Amino acid sequence: METILQIDENFIETHTNFIELVSVLKDAFKNNKTIVPLRHHHDFPNPSVNADSTLLLMPAWNPSEDAGVKLVTVSPKNGDFNLPSINGTYLYLDAIKGTIKAILEAKSLTAKRTAAASALASSFLSKKNANSLLMIGTGALSSNLIKAHASVRPINEVFIWGRSLEKTQKVCNLLKNEAFNIAPINTIEEKISDVDIISSATLSEVPLVLGKHLKKGQHIDLVGAYKTNMREADDETIIKSSVFVDTFQGGLKESGDIVQPLQNGSIQQQDIQADLFDLCSGNHLGRNHHEEITVFKSVGHALEDLVAANYYYKKFTNV
């Protein structure tokens, strides 16, 4: 039996080039050969912490080329145990034989591919000269999102807000040697109107990005709020923006940022401009003009996981 490779968090962290990862993601969305069933999404009660947990199963395959499935649990109260809220494993498969080629640590893989997808969207939707970024949230995604956005735009100034000043400062310390300046802020309001890109990655159920603060030409990257009762942006933000999603399959169904405005009539489904398949294939060109406000809502897609698994597998085996 073939040896199953173990690709751990350290390898993923030290072998990520966001320019490369964005490029392979772009090719996959453009070619659109990956078969992706709708993800399995199961909420289950967790009475010990008085909050539901979630099990996600995300398969994808390119016939006779590659295949895989990600198993993820999301437990919002894990901060009480000093653990990340998201944990998971990726099984990378031989698409012909059905055997397991590698097991990848999925938390880092997910963070990298999610950040790369946001950067890919930004390459179409943010202004080409965008040089300032507000990061809302201090979880595992925040540092990756900052670096990914900086790989596609000339970011030289970053501000970060979080509910914990200690965690905010930790992210700043982690990125202190990057090519941009980074600083913590005490309130979102003090910088939200000044930056070119706003990226938010939280589990908030209350909107943090308020439309009344937005200015012309901004790009808003919404990465958190993975359930329909969660919101990172209010209705005004959605109404006054050109809205894009990673995929129509998941984007219109899974996040409160899109589902709630659709349900209350603030927007209609036809108001959603395009997804990453449309953008990468050239069916939609993205930003129309300099003053347009754009929103990208990401809920994740198994294509991204498979592309990332293949990317790290090739690096690990030097293929």
User: In this predicted model, what pLDDT tens digit does every residue of 153-177 receive, in sequence order?
Assistant: 999 999 999 999 889 999 999 999 9
pLDDT band at 1 (very low <50, low <70, confident <90, very high): low
Which pLDDT score, from 0 to 100, does residue 91 have?
A: 97
Q: What pLDDT score does 44 carry?
A: 86
Average pLDDT over every residue of 17-22: 98
The mean pLDDT value of the chain amounts to 93
Confidence of residue 84 (pLDDT cuts 50, 70, 90): confident
For 179-212, write each residue's pLDDT tens digit: 999 999 999 999 999 999 999 999 999 999 999 9
What does the H/E/C string look like for 258-306? HHHHHHCCCCCHHHEEEEHHHHHHCCCCCCCCCCCCEEEECCCCHHHHH
> Contact, 126 vs 219, CB < 8 A?
yes
Which pLDDT tens digit goes with each residue over 20-38?
A: 999 999 999 999 999 998 7
pLDDT band at residue 231 under the 50/70/90 scheme: very high
Q: Is the pLDDT of residue 73 over 90?
A: no
For residue 132, the model assigns a pLDDT of: 97
Residue 49 or 313, more confident: 313
In sequence order, what are the residues at sequence separation of 6 or more whose Cβ sits closer than 8 angstroms to the Cβ of residue 287?
124, 125, 126, 127, 219, 242, 294
319 falls in which pLDDT band (50, 70, 90)? low
- The average pLDDT across 215-227 equals 93
pLDDT of res. 56: 86
Report the distance separating Cα 92 and Cα 4, nearest Å. Answer: 9
Q: Return the minimum-mean-pLDDT range out of 84-88, 120-124, 132-136, 142-146.
A: 84-88
Domains observed in the chain: 5-109+303-317 (3.30.1780.10), 125-301 (3.40.50.720)
Give CA–CA dist 52/73, Å, rounded: 11
What gap in Å lies between CA 110 and CA 126, rounded to an integer? Answer: 23
Please give the angle made by the CA atoms of 145, 119 and 297, to the nearest 5 degrees: 85
**pLDDT at residue 41, as a whole number:** 82
The two structure tokens encoding residue 221: 């990257």
Distances (CA, A) of 204 to 146, 195, 231, 232, 247: 19, 21, 6, 6, 22
In angstroms, the CA 247 to CA 244 distance is: 9
Q: What is the pLDDT of residue 145?
A: 98
- Model's pTM, two decimal places? 0.90
- pLDDT over 70 at 86, yes or no: yes
